[in-house]
Amino acid sequence: MDSALLLRKSITQDVFDYQTLTEILGERVSKPRDLAARLIREGSLVRIRRGLYIFGELLRKHTVSREYLSNLIYGPSYVSLDYALSFYSMIPEKVFTVTSVSVGRSREFSTPFGHYSYRMLRSDRYSTGISMESSDSISFLIASPEKALIDKVWSDRRATRSTSRRWLEYLEDDLRLDMDKLSDFSPGMLRGITDAYSSEKISSFTAFLAKFIGEKR
**CA distances for 35 relative to 38, 59, 98, 185, angstroms:** 5, 17, 30, 50
First to last CA, the chain: 64
Return d(Cα 55, Cα 6) in angstroms, integer.
12
Rounded to an integer, the average pLDDT of 146-158 is 96
pLDDT digits 0-9 by tens, 65-91: 999 999 999 999 999 999 999 999 999
pLDDT given at position 217: 62
pLDDT digits 0-9 by tens, 26-59: 777 778 889 899 999 999 999 999 999 999 999 9
Q: Please write down the long-range contacts of 44-51, taking CB distance under 8 Å and 24 or more positions apart.
A: 44/4, 45/4, 45/7, 46/112, 47/112, 48/15, 48/72, 48/73, 48/111, 48/112, 48/113, 49/73, 49/109, 49/111, 51/17, 51/18, 51/19
- Please name the residue ranges forming H helices in the chain: 3-10, 18-25, 32-42, 66-73, 81-87, 145-155, 164-169, 187-197, 200-216
Domain ranges of the chain: 3-59, 66-216
Pairing mode, strands 114-120 and 98-102: parallel
Rounded to an integer, the average pLDDT of 158-171 is 90
Residue 216 has pLDDT above 70, yes or no: no
Strand partners, 110: 115
Strand partners, 102: 77, 120
Residue 197 has pLDDT above 90, yes or no: yes
Task: Work out the mean pLDDT of the chain and round it to a whole number.
Answer: 94
What pTM was estimated for this model as a whole?
Answer: 0.92
